[in-house]
């Protein structure tokens, strides 16, 4: 199916959507009421805007990238404008998209992006331009063509750094200076983290780093860059970690996942996480379910035959052929109607400790469980990977709750029997998420239970 021009005659599916804004060690203590309300307002606004896009007939690809673009533009989340700093004081962004069908590449990821305002749109362009490519070889060659003679990044599914930024510029995407991504909260988080490590003899040149950003931000001589870029961070309030992402199902029955992140706080420069890595932090696929091999054989016997036991019928059949009836013909040879192949699809986005997702190929493993294990739903597969006591948690071993390893969650949609089902699970304190439930009600949650505001005399919603 062409995602840009879907067939309107196939629009029978109820659109579904789920969005997440990161997961981690969130508690009611480090997420005060004012912060909770800010995240709730932001996520519900993005959810409503994206559902409008879906109901207007747009594709899952358009809807998912629309949602993630809005997340990237909001400094509350660890992607785009609100991304974390790397150890060397730079900001390196990652993003990805993948569809269950309709594009030759199906999935694309970008990494070490520093100057594209919305990295998710670069990944989208790589995907939709993929049909213009002749293949994945290195024989492109148009002079002055940033794609090397082929429109969709020469068939490649992953690109990084200056190379992908050059493509983005050639495709007309909005470019920004690095200072656009700078926020005081993330700057404070970065510096506090390195100072804490310095007590363990891990030092950094704070003066040189601050001078570099002062020049980028255009701050005056001697001005503390921490005074720019909005409110600071007190060291206690939770700041979202991990990936922000969206999974969408459109009316044409196609699924899309889109993700974006700044990665881990104070990561090494050049580090590549699960967000742009196919199968680790994002995945979408569909397949046909084989017709059931268990057929219910119709009872074609006459009323008299049904009344006479089989053993007696055999004895009487020598004298009364009408009792015996016709010779048995295997049902596989007669009266068997061909069954249509049923289509099933899944799409997921992971968030949390990316290195743990990488070691497990987290979301692709969940998809494989749903696809190849008999009678397993996507919900049960996600629980096995990302739920409490699941494979992500087990992968951390004795480092669980000490290093952040293994912490995370997964959101997704399963499409089966012509309907989409929202799924999610997580093993850590909380996961920012919003969706519309099966009753059509708008939902936003962080913890497993509703967020409550403590008052001296009672708990209130």
Running DSSP on this structure, what letter comes out for residue 175? B
Q: Residue 291's pLDDT is what?
A: 53
> What is the Cα–Cα distance from 240 to 191, expressed in whole angstroms?
17
Q: Residue 11's pLDDT is what?
A: 61
Residues designated catalytic:
243
User: Which residues on adjacent β-strands are paired with residue 347?
Assistant: 284, 413
Element spanning 282, H or E: strand 282-289
Alpha-carbon dihedral 18, 122, 88, 207, rounded to 10 degrees: -100
> What is the Cα–Cα distance from 207 to 73, expressed in whole angstroms?
29
Residue (of 448, 414, 433, 421) closest to 19 by Cα position = 433
Element spanning 321, H or E: helix 321-324
Q: Residue 375's pLDDT is what?
A: 87
Q: Residue 103's pLDDT is what?
A: 84
Element spanning 423, H or E: strand 419-426
Question: What pTM did the predictor assign?
Answer: 0.81
List pLDDT tens digits, range 397-420. 999 988 899 999 999 999 998 999
Q: Residue 192's pLDDT is what?
A: 87
List pLDDT tens digits, range 137-180. 444 444 445 555 446 678 899 999 999 999 999 999 999 999 99
If phi > 0 it is left, if psi is from -120 to 50 it is alpha, else beta; for residue 102 that is left
Contact between 118 and 73 under an 8 Å Cβ cutoff? The reply is yes
* pLDDT under 70: residue ranges of the chain: 1-11, 133-152, 197-236, 291-340, 452-461
Element spanning 4, H or E: none
Q: Residue 130's pLDDT is what?
A: 83
Q: Residue 193's pLDDT is what?
A: 86
Alpha-carbon dihedral 190, 192, 197, 203, rounded to 10 degrees: 80
Q: Residue 438's pLDDT is what?
A: 92
What b/e string do you get for 11-39 counting C-beta neighbours within 10 Å, with b at 16 or more? eebebbbbbbbbbbebebeebeeeebeeb
């Amino acid at each position: 199916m062409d995602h840009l021009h879907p067939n309107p005659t196939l629009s029978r599916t109820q659109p579904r959507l789920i969005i997440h804004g990161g997961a981690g060690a969130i508690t009611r203590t480090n997420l005060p009421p004012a912060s909770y309300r800010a995240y709730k307002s932001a996520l519900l606004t993005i959810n409503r805007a994206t559902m409008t896009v879906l109901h207007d007939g747009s594709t899952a690809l358009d809807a998912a990238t629309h949602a993630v673009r809005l997340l990237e533009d909001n400094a509350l989340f660890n992607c785009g404008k609100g991304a974390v700093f790397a150890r060397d004081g730079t900001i390196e962004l990652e993003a990805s998209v993948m569809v269950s069908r309709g594009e030759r590449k199906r999935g694309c990821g970008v990494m070490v992006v520093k100057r594209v305002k919305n990295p998710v749109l670069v990944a989208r362009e790589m995907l939709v331009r993929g049909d213009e490519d002749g293949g994945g070889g290195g024989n492109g060659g148009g002079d002055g063509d940033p794609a090397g003679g082929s429109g969709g990044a020469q068939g490649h599914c992953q690109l990084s750094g200056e190379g992908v930024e050059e493509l983005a510029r050639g495709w007309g995407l909005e470019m920004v200076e690095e200072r656009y991504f700078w926020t005081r909260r993330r700057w404070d988080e970065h510096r506090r983290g390195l100072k804490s490590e310095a007590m363990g003899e891990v030092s950094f040149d704070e003066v040189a780093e601050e001078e570099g950003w002062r020049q980028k931000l255009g701050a005056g001589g001697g001005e503390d860059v921490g005074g720019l870029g909005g409110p600071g961070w007190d060291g206690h309030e939770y700041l979202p970690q991990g990936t922000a992402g969206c999974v969408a199902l459109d009316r044409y029955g196609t699924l899309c996942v889109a993700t974006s992140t700044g990665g881990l706080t104070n990561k090494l420069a050049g580090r590549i996480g699960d967000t742009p890595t196919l199968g680790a932090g994002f995945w979408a696929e569909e397949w046909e379910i084989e017709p059931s091999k268990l057929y219910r054989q119709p009872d074609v016997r006459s009323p008299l035959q049904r009344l006479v036991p089989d053993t007696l019928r055999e004895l009487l059949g020598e004298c009364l052929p009408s009792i015996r009836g016709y010779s048995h013909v295997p049902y596989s040879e007669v009266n068997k109607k061909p069954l249509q192949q049923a289509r099933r699809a899944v799409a997921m986005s992971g968030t949390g400790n990316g290195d743990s997702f990488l070691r497990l190929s987290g979301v692709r493993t969940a998809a494989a469980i749903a696809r190849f294990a008999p009678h397993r739903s996507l919900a049960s597969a996600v629980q096995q990977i990302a739920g409490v006591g699941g494979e992500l948690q087990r992968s951390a071993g004795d480092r669980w709750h000490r290093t952040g390893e293994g912490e995370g969650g997964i959101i997704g949609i399963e499409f089966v029997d012509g309907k989409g089902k929202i799924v999610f699970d997580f093993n850590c304190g909380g996961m920012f998420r919003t969706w519309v439930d099966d009753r059509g009600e708008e939902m936003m949650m962080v913890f497993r239970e509703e967020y409550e505001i403590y008052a001296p005399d009672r708990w209130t919603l």
